[in-house]
Amino acid sequence: MREITYRQALNEALAEELERDPNVFLMGEEVAEYQGAYKVSQGLLQRFGPRRIIDTPISENGFAGLGVGAAMVGLRPIIEFMTFSFSLVAFDQVVNNAPNMFTMSGGQFNIPITFRGPNGPAHQLGATHSHATENFYASVPGLKVCTPATPRDAKGLLKTAVRDDNPVLVLEAELLYSSKGMVEPPDEELLIPLGKADVKREGSDVSIICYAQTVPLALKVAAQLEEEDISAEIVDLRSIKPLDEKAIFDSVTKTHRVVIVEQDHPFCGVGAEVCYRIQKNIFDALDAPIIRVSQEDVPMPYNERLEHAVLPNAEKLIAAVKQVCYA
């Protein structure tokens, strides 16, 4: 194992999959000559050439659709959105074309495509550039959605996504590109299956269910809670769809108390689905009502203090944990 950044981990995943399969190509805005808006594709143009690392004009609908069409005839496109906030311009391609094709064609055309890019609020980007899109996309049958929070998960999930025969969205955490973590050496194949959660920290008093940018938040809060003799188990979903029910249920059966901390909005958010499944399947395991911590239900303000107030944060999470623990 060695320590690399989240950004490097994604870069390695892309390079390894481009190397492995000649049908894989990377397309998006600024991915080639500019070396990536967030430098995730740094060096790939030099290594793989302009046939496979392709700059596009600012036409998300156009190049997302191009990817779906190329996938219909057997290529395996990786389409980068500069941010998933811009994927909304391509919503029709991501929601109507990519996931429906397999059904509409009676199973004749599967779409092996990866849509990837940063997702979720970053820092003071305002309402249009701060979307957490996971709950929109996870509600669409035919799509798979994953949300890596560590360099290791980023590499392993992206590689798996590229090899999947369905449309997969890899929602990268915009604020975590420079974060570091331990990852297997490059000569060791790292594939992390979709639909497998990961217990990032063991605990016994409460399960904090989190994903993407809320994982480091939950880990930080767990360390603080430890000092107050509350032992929190951190369950990182890693994939929103498929959802690892078993890992969730195993943890909750152990702790009997749940806080879900999500980076999207509360109304029809990811936590609502997780909460529903817990109460439906293991109601008797619960010792307290489940609490969700999410964004506030408002468009993201630019002002820093207000943004902090909108986001899930340590104060809100600690308060929620104490509430479910009756502490």
Partner 1 sequence: MQPGEQRDEVEMLSLMLLIRRFEERASQQYQAQKIGGFCHLYIGQEAVVAGAVAAVRDDDYIITAYRDHAHALARGTSADACMAELFGKETGCSRGLGGSMHFFDRKNHMYGGHAIVAAHVPLAVGMAFAIKYRGEDRVTLCFFGDGAINQGAFHEALNLAALYKLPIVFICENNLFAMGTSVKRSTSLKQIVDRAEGYDIPGEIVDGMNFREVRDEIAEIVDSIRKEPHPAFLEVRTYRYRGHSMSDPASYRTKKELEKYRLDDPITRLRAQLTREGKLTNEQFDRLDKQAKETVLAAVKFAEQSPQPPLEKLYDYTYADGAKP
Binding range to partner 1, per CB under 8 A, among 35-43, 181-189, 237-245, 289-297: 237-245
37/66 with CB nearer partner 1:
66
68/217 with CB nearer partner 1:
68
In 74-222, where do the E strands start and end? Answer: 76-80, 114-119, 144-146, 168-173, 180-183, 198-201, 206-210
Q: Which amino acid is at 182?
A: M
Query: What's the rounded Cα separation, in Å, for the pair 269 and 173?
Result: 17
Q: Which amino acid is at 118?
A: P
Q: Does 33 interact with partner 1 (rule: CB under 8 A)?
A: no
Binding range to partner 1, per CB under 8 A, among 11-19, 69-77, 257-265, 286-294: 69-77
30, 129, 273, 296: the catalytic one is 129
Q: Does 93 interact with partner 1 (rule: CB under 8 A)?
A: yes
> Cβ 265 to partner 1, closest distance in Å?
21
29, 60, 174, 307: the catalytic one is 60
Give the footprint of partner 1 on residues 107-126 (CB under 8 A): 107-110, 112
Whether 308 is a known active-site residue: answer no
Query: What's the rounded Cα separation, in Å, for the pair 101 and 111?
Result: 7
75/288 with CB nearer partner 1:
75
Residues 154-193, mask of contacts with partner 1 (x by CB under 8 A): ----------xxx---------------------------
Inter-CA distances, 132 with 29, 66, 171, Å:
20, 24, 9
Q: Specify burial of residue 40 (Cβ count, 10 A radius: 0-12, 13-18, 19+).
A: buried
Tokens of 220: 């930080």
Inter-CA distances, 97 with 25, 58, 160, Å:
19, 20, 22
Under a CB-based contact definition with an 8 Å cutoff, are residues 230 and 206 in contact? yes
Under a CB-based contact definition with an 8 Å cutoff, are residues 182 and 8 in contact? no
Binds partner 1 by CB under 8 A, chosen from 139, 224, 231, 242: 242
Residue count, binding to partner 1 (CB under 8 A): 47
Q: Does 87 interact with partner 1 (rule: CB under 8 A)?
A: no
Under a CB-based contact definition with an 8 Å cutoff, are residues 223 and 317 in contact? no
Give the footprint of partner 1 on residues 273-302 (CB under 8 A): none
Whether 129 is a known active-site residue: answer yes
In sign, the C-alpha dihedral spanning 10, 15, 21, 25 is: positive
Binds partner 1 by CB under 8 A, chosen from 241, 256, 257, 292: 241
> Cβ 236 to partner 1, closest distance in Å?
17
Q: Does 88 interact with partner 1 (rule: CB under 8 A)?
A: no
Following DSSP, what letter does each residue of 51-72 receive, concatenated? TTEEE--S-HHHHHHHHHHHHH
122/237 with CB nearer partner 1:
237
Query: What's the rounded Cα separation, in Å, for the pair 103 and 100?
Result: 6
* Measured CA angle at 121 (ends 117, 122), to 5 deg: 80
Binds partner 1 by CB under 8 A, chosen from 44, 53, 68, 222: 68
> Which DSSP state fits 231?
-
Binding site for partner 1 (CB under 8 A): 25, 51, 54, 56-57, 59, 61-75, 77, 92-93, 96-97, 101-110, 112, 141-142, 144, 164-166, 195, 241-243
Kindly list the catalytic residues. 60, 129
